[in-house]
C-alpha cells in the first residue's frame, strides 16, 4: 500500500502528543503524504490545532479552548500527560498559522483540516469560516476542509473554497442528496460503522476509513475499494506496507 493511501491522524499520536508540530513533523519524516488535524478557536477567535473542546487531556489543565485567549493558550504545554507523563512537557500548543507554514515546505503533502462542531457551536459557521478561510489563501492545492457539519462545508463551497470532504456518521449517508451535492473528492467514515456481516460495495465511492492501526484490516479495506486509511500509527503502517511489497 503506497504512502499516498495513508492519512496520519492528528500527526503521529502512537508516539507523540496529538495535533502538535512535533507529531506532524515526525509523521512526514516517517513518509506521510497526508496529514489530518482538528481546528478549534480561542476566545479571541484565533484558530488553533486542537481536537477536544476541553484543555484537560492534551494540556493537563481545566478549561475550554473557546473560553481561553490565544495569549493564555500560548502559555500552556501540549503534552498529553495522561499518556506520556511529563516527557513532552514544554511542547507548545500549535496554532493553525504555524501548521500551514510547515506544510508549505512540503508541497507534496495534503492536509485534511477538520473544523470541529464545538467551534461551530461557539462561533457559528460564519464566525469560524471568517477566521479560517483567509489563512488558506493560496493553499487549496494542499488543504481539504473536512467536518461532520455539512453546513460549514456548504458555506465554504459557496465562498469559493474548492476542496471539501464530509465526515459521515453511517454508511447510508454516503448516498444522500446533500452529500452528493457537495461534490466532495472523498468521504471519511469510521470503519466501525460499516454494515455488519456484509462486504461493502466501495467501487466508485471514494471513502477513507479512520482510526485504524491494524495493517491487516487496513489492507482488507483497501482490497474492498477504500481509497485511503487514516491511522494513529503512520510509521508502522507504512513500514508494514513496504515489508509486504506494497500489496493491498
The predicted-structure confidence for 151-189, as pLDDT tens digits, reads as follows 999 999 999 999 999 999 988 888 788 888 998 989 999
Pure H helices in the chain: 21-29, 56-59, 70-74, 81-84, 96-104, 117-132, 150-158, 177-181, 215-224, 234-243
- pLDDT surpassing 90 at residue 248: no
In sequence order, the β-bridge partners of residue 115 are 39
Q: Do the bridges between strand 110-115 and strand 47-49 make them parallel or antiparallel, or are there none, so unpaired?
A: unpaired
- pLDDT surpassing 70 at residue 83: yes
Taking the alpha carbons at both ends of the chain, their separation in whole angstroms is 5
DSSP letters along 23-59, please? Answer: HHHHHHHTT-SEEEEEEEE-TTS-EEE-S-SBSHHHH
- pLDDT surpassing 60 at residue 247: no
For the stretch 129-154, pLDDT in tens is 999 999 999 999 999 999 999 999 99
Q: How many CB atoms are located within 10 Å of the residue 200 CB?
A: 16
202 pLDDT band, cuts 50/70/90, is: confident
204 pLDDT band, cuts 50/70/90, is: low
Of the candidate ranges 21-30, 151-160, 165-174, 190-199, the one whose mean pLDDT is the lowest: 190-199
Mean pLDDT estimate for the chain: 94
Dist. CA 248–CA 243, nearest whole Å: 12
**Alpha-carbon distance values, 240 to 5, 68, 69, 215, 232 (Å):** 13, 41, 42, 7, 14
The answer to pTM > 0.85 is yes
Q: 147 and 132 in contact (C-beta within 8 Å)?
A: no
Amino acid at each position: 500500500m503506497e504512502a499516498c493511501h495513508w492519512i496520519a491522524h492528528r500527526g503521529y499520536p502512537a508516539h507523540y502528543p496529538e495535533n502538535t508540530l512535533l507529531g506532524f513533523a515526525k509523521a512526514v519524516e516517517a513518509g506521510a503524504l497526508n496529514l489530518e488535524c482538528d481546528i478549534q478557536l480561542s476566545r479571541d477567535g484565533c484558530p488553533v490545532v486542537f481536537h477536544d473542546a476541553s484543555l484537560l487531556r492534551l494540556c493537563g489543565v481545566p478549561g475550554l479552548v473557546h473560553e481561553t485567549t490565544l495569549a493564555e493558550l500560548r502559555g500552556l504545554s501540549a503534552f498529553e500527560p495522561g499518556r506520556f507523563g511529563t516527557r513532552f512537557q514544554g511542547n507548545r500548543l500549535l496554532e493553525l498559522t504555524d501548521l500551514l507554514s510547515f506544510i508549505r515546505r512540503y508541497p507534496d503533502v495534503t492536509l485534511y483540516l477538520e473544523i470541529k462542531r464545538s467551534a461551530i457551536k461557539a462561533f457559528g459557521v460564519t464566525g469560524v469560516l471568517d477566521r479560517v478561510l483567509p489563512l488558506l489563501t493560496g493553499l487549496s492545492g494542499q488543504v481539504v476542509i473536512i467536518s461532520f457539519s455539512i453546513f460549514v462545508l456548504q458555506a465554504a463551497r459557496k465562498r469559493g473554497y474548492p476542496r471539501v470532504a464530509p465526515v459521515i456518521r453511517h454508511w447510508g449517508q454516503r448516498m444522500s442528496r446533500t452529500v452528493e451535492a457537495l461534490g466532495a473528492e472523498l468521504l471519511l467514515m469510521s470503519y466501525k460503522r460499516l454494515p455488519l456481516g456484509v462486504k461493502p460495495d466501495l467501487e466508485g465511492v471514494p471513502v477513507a476509513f479512520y482510526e485504524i492501526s491494524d495493517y491487516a484490516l487496513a489492507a482488507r479495506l483497501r482490497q474492498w475499494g477504500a481509497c485511503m486509511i487514516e491511522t494513529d500509527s503512520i510509521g508502522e503502517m507504512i513500514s508494514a506496507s513496504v515489508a509486504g511489497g506494497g500489496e493491498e
